[in-house]
Structure 1
Amino acid sequence: MGKILAVDDSATMRQMVATALKESGHQVFEAGDGKEALSKAQKERFDLVITDVNMPQMDGLTLIKELRGLANYRFTPILFLTTESGADMKQQAKASGATGWLVKPFKPDQLLATVGKVLR
């Protein structure tokens, strides 16, 4: 199972993501914003990063660009988990280096299926 970093400024959303992933055997670490996530990613190696888009300190798009600049994260799967479902935001996410996209609210089985695909 994977070592996953869940990034969201909502503690409730982080808990929902963490609970679903932990129940499937994944090891989950949490960060409240992009700045905290980047700091953790520079100290530890994660198999997958799941991030919100809109957060204080550092948003998800900036976080992805920063992670992609690190040698350890050049090819690491990064999923966006956000309420924004517009084509423009999806395009920005892909341009930043996002691997995939999930829209909130999500169903745990939907999250697990997507995580399973990118962690193969």
Structure 2
Amino acid sequence: MAELRSSDLNILLVEPSAMQRKIIRKELNKERVDAIDEAGSVATALERIHAVKPDLVISCLYLPDGSAMDLLQQIRESDETSDLPFMLVSSETRHSELDQFKQSGVIAILPKPFNHDHLVTALNSTLDLLSNDELDLEFYDPASLRVLVVDDSRMARNVIIKVLGNLGIDQITQAEDGAEAITLLPQGFDLVVTDFNMPQVNGLELAEHIRNSADYSHLPILMVTSESRQTHLSNVAKSGVNAMTDKPFEPATVKQLLTRILEA
């Protein structure tokens, strides 16, 4: 199958400001993205999505009839669009406001105004999410890898599972938090991919449990986190995780990290 390129993407741009739409469209055109539909509200965006499913939704935060989160939640609740890549463009910087989007599995959060490199990175992440690029491992067959994905957000788990599936990994077990993950460990896994912030038992406590266990101490751990506080990240690093990546993550980065920790 031919390699998917930015020029192949069909994008829905959700932005009530004609000026902002013009600016974003101009930046997309620089990457030869010409198939761009537009909407100025949540209701119109949903109509467009149900008429023709786009490859990517790019949305501002505030809309006349709601917010980007209202739109994203309705997209994620539909079986037909639950895996639709979503990009937020916002001048919002507060962690409390942006974390809900990170936990919902957005492909990227771009600042407003953003530079062209930001957009290129986000488009490349979308292409990676839509493409199959199987891991090339010396010691493992990706199809035989048993992976435990731990995250209290169903939407975030779905994105991680989508990325793993594109890498040729389909033997995936899900856990909603660290407590459930601990009960599942006896099933036997080759890799744990876990969130940091979770109820009951968080990712740090799960990693420490694994490292202190005689049966599972060898198990590779990839931490996917929206946490930005340096103290927390330092504690995670000391817990023995093999690698960490941010939310939202770039699929290409996940592939590189998995290759490194599985071949170590």
Return the TM-score normalized by structure 2. 0.43
Alignment of 1:40 onto 2:174: no
- The match for 2:235 among 73, 92, 100 is 92
1:66-105 equivalences under 5 Å are 66-105=209-248
CA distance, structure 2, for counterparts of residue 59 and residue 119 of structure 1: 23
Name the residue aligned to 2:63: none
1:45/1:72 contact within 8 Å kept: no
Residue 47 of structure 1 deviates from its aligned partner by 1.0
Q: Give structure 1 regions of 4+ aligned residues with deviation exceeding 6 angstroms.
A: none
Name the residue aligned to 1:55: 198
Name the residue aligned to 1:118: 261
Residue 254 of structure 2 aligns with an amino acid whose one-letter code is L
Name the residue aligned to 2:175: 31
Residue 56 of structure 1 aligns with an amino acid whose one-letter code is P
User: Over the residues paired in the alignment, what is the CA RMSD in angstroms?
Assistant: 1.3
- Largest Rg, 1 or 2: 2
CA distance, structure 2, for counterparts of residue 36 and residue 74 of structure 1: 18
Q: Aligned residues, how many? A: 119
CA distance, structure 2, for counterparts of residue 67 and residue 104 of structure 1: 23
Return the TM-score normalized by structure 1. 0.91
Unaligned runs of 5+ in 2: 1-141
Which structure has more RCO (C-alpha within 8 Å, separation ≥ 6)? 1
- The match for 1:18 among 142, 148, 161 is 161
CA distance, structure 1, for counterparts of residue 150 and residue 177 of structure 2: 6
Q: Percent identity?
A: 36
> Which secondary structure state, in structure 1, belongs to the residue aligned with residue 215 of structure 2?
helix
